Structure 1
Amino acid sequence: MHHLPPASENTARPSPGHPRKTPAPRLVQALPGLLLCLLLGALCMIASQFFNGLSALLLAILLGALWRNIAPVPAALAPGTAIAAKQLLRLGIVLLGLQLSLGTILGLGPGVLLVVLASVGATFFATLWIGKRLGMDAQQRLLIATGFSICGAAAVAGTENVIKAKQEQVATAIGLVVLFGTLMIPAMPALGLLLGLDERGIGMLIGASTHEVAQVVAAGGSVGAGALVVAVTVKLARVVLLAPIIAGVGLCMRRKHSVQGGKNPPLVPLFVLGFLAAMLLRTTGILPESLLSAASTVQTLLLSAAMFALGLGVHLRSIVKSGGRSLLLGLLGTLVIIVVAACGTILFPPA
């Protein structure tokens, strides 16, 4: 009675009374956290209707971060929040492609597109270089560089999937995006007025500099409808660069791992290909507006749920523990993109 058969014998010939294990228990464990993220994401969507200038995504990040830093998060939620922070985020990014059209992006004109490329490129490489000078490791530098140059938390999470960063590194990068991006909501319109820009010019400045899509909406909406349209369009042009940046990071990681003998990370993650495919599908014009509207709602829900889950990982202590280097890199990266965007807006104002 004390000598049980080896596990291999039981699994080799499963009987009707002892069925083979399935992933179902894992899904059951994930349900509480997953449903909570979706529920709070939906509530943030509703609440955003009553907070002028605050989007559901930003509210969700702030709510998650607030919970994480003032009260303990039950361990039972961890499996579900992990799915929300990765799988739901990837689906949301794919659906985000349906909100972009190549015609709209190209319609910005060559001058504005040049400013977009300069803002993303200069911020990405300058942040990497500054971070290296500060003695920070490559993974932390890459997370902050992509988050600040492209589209905030979504870019951080997308990069994390390629470089396999530590959770505290991801939390630090997202925390910096929330901190500095939130400060830019009132600062960018004020800077635009100081520079003597018109409403559309302020919108371009906001879209070319502000870290998070949600923060762009908040800042642009505070200026006016004209600024909001330009700001979002310019910001989405930066979002398009998520694909080539992550592909480039993936290529560098593949080369590095091939030398070290590790498992090669994907060159281009599937969700990035899905994002590009969705954007091309939108460009064809065959999708009805009703479908695009529904997709936009689902996309906002998925990204809000993911942002709440990511917010739960924003522990202020982790930013403090990382020392002043992370905060300094966040500040300098923010200043780089503001200077490039401001100079570009003055030289190539929107038509």
Structure 2
Amino acid sequence: MSSDLDTDVSAAHAMFQSYDGMEGLAEHPASAAASESGPESWRAFFLRVYPGLLVSATIALAATWLSQQYKSPVMLFALLFGMTFHFLHEEGRCIAGIEFSSKAVLRFGVALLGARITAGQIMQLGAAPIATVLFGLATTIALGALAAGSLRLGRSFGVLSGGAVGICGASAALAIASVLPRSPESERDTILTVVTVTVLSTLAMITYPLLATALGLDHVHAGIFLGATIHDVAQVVGAGYSISPETGDVATYVKLLRVTMLLPVVFSIAFFVNRGKKGNAAGAKATLPLFLVGFALLVALNSAGYLPKMAIDAANDVSRWCLVTAIAALGMKTSFKDLAAVGWKPIALMLLETVWIAAVTAVAVTMVY
């Protein structure tokens, strides 16, 4: 007789398809049963997810410690460590918790990113940097979709990689992946995007300050260039403050503007995915993903001054832990063999997107304003 602790691959994946409702996608029939929950159901749910959730959190803790010791990207450590424990996702008690970490924990972490941003921070930059960021983001995603089609990588991968490069690196990749149509390659593509964008962001953190100096940019324009081009928030901060405090402040605000674009971009993708899936159903309507509602609500509360500094700091810390835990879980869902099989094309695409957004921004800051 099987117990609540017994699980297998098919059961775990069916169980967590109920989270499609959080993504603004069509709800799986299994989710109706999952919604009828009582105390015993919640106890059974906890017993199913805690082994995988505990493993994911442990890997996140180890990755964070190593990142602090060696001053390296924590996301990359979490991914690589997670991938070494891929066998835990093939069978056994950890599958359900790994699925939970890579979906629900991920979305909760993305929602908390909204606590970093206020409307005032964005508006004080002026119109020109905002226009540069919007143009760079839109054209990078468009370039990704078009080039991915030409390379036969699929437009979903182009949107995923373009959004990761154009918005905020690994966090954007995770958020966008959660609303894109699912395929057998979805998890592999997400991991590949996170790994590549993290490596490119680290290289940009080292080389872009030198490029800004070579271009003769002043502190403000250098901050705009760094904030509008480097992928991850941490690397933007590192690169900006390596030049001057003023450059670091400007770079951070510009980067937060890009992070703000996560909301409309992910919602737009979810809307079109919904419309494509439900287009033949009478009266079908797209639903707003719940984690994006949370993101927007936190931005609004922070802009209105209702979030105390203690709450903002706590939200940032929890968000970081959630995202690192989700990255570790995604790593466990992907093998080195799968990544090696993708070839050079995805990496070349993301390199092209990185060069494009850097070129667009460099032209804007040197010639336009």
Within 5 Å, give how 1:85-234 maps onto structure 2.
Answer: 85-165=102-182, 166-234=186-254
Render the CA deviation track for 1:69-95: whole Å, top value 9, x for unaligned.
556543444332332222222222222
Within 5 Å, give how 1:38-117 maps onto structure 2.
Answer: 38-42=57-61, 44-45=63-64, 50=69, 54=72, 58-59=73-74, 61-68=75-82, 72-75=86-89, 76-117=93-134
Render the CA deviation track for 1:32-75: whole Å, top value 9, x for unaligned.
332343344455556655555x4xxx31x222232245565434
Task: Tell me the residue number matched to 2:53.
Answer: 34
Deviant stretches of 4+, over 6 Å: none
Question: Is contact 2:101-2:329 (8 Å) kept?
Answer: yes
Q: What is the identity percentage for the equivalent residue pairs of Structure 1 and Structure 2?
A: 27
- Aligned AA for 1:31? Y
TM-score by length of 1: 0.82
Task: Tell me the residue number matched to 1:287.
Answer: 307
TM-score by length of 2: 0.79
Render the CA deviation track for 1:239-276: whole Å, top value 9, x for unaligned.
111111122212222332234669x7954311112111
Moved more, 321-330 or 304-313: 304-313
Question: Is contact 2:181-2:273 (8 Å) kept?
Answer: no
Q: Which runs of 5+ in 1 are unaligned?
A: 1-18
The total of aligned residue pairs comes to 326
Render the CA deviation track for 1:162-210: whole Å, top value 9, x for unaligned.
2233212222222221232222121211211221123333222121011
- DSSP-derived class of the 1:163 partner: coil
Q: Distance in 2 between matches of 1:206 and 1:310?
A: 29
Task: Give the structure, 1 or 2, with the largest relative contact order (CA under 8 Å, sep 6 or more).
Answer: 1
Question: Is contact 2:59-2:82 (8 Å) kept?
Answer: no
Gap change, CA 1:312 and 1:186, over 3 Å in 2: farther
Question: Is contact 1:64-1:310 (8 Å) kept?
Answer: no
Question: Is contact 1:206-1:220 (8 Å) kept?
Answer: yes
Question: Is contact 2:86-2:332 (8 Å) kept?
Answer: no
Q: Distance in 2 between matches of 1:149 and 1:212?
A: 10
- Aligned AA for 1:113? I
Q: Distance in 2 between matches of 1:27 and 1:200?
A: 50
Render the CA deviation track for 1:278-314: whole Å, top value 9, x for unaligned.
1000111122222222222222222332233334456
Structure 1 residue 158, shift from structure 2 partner:
1.7
Choose the corresponding residue for 2:358, options 332, 338, 341: 338
Gap change, CA 1:316 and 1:289, over 3 Å in 2: same
- Aligned AA for 2:139? A
Task: Tell me the residue number matched to 1:14.
Answer: none
Moved more, 188-197 or 264-273: 264-273
Gap change, CA 1:50 and 1:183, over 3 Å in 2: same
Q: Distance in 1 between matches of 2:105 and 2:277?
A: 28
Q: Distance in 1 between matches of 2:336 and 2:61?
A: 25
The structure with the largest alpha-carbon Rg is 1
Q: Which runs of 5+ in 2 are unaligned?
A: 1-37
Render the CA deviation track for 1:213-238: whole Å, top value 9, x for unaligned.
23323333433432222222111101
Q: Distance in 2 between matches of 1:158 and 1:81?
A: 17
- Aligned AA for 1:124? I
- Aligned AA for 1:33? G
Question: Is contact 2:98-2:329 (8 Å) kept?
Answer: yes
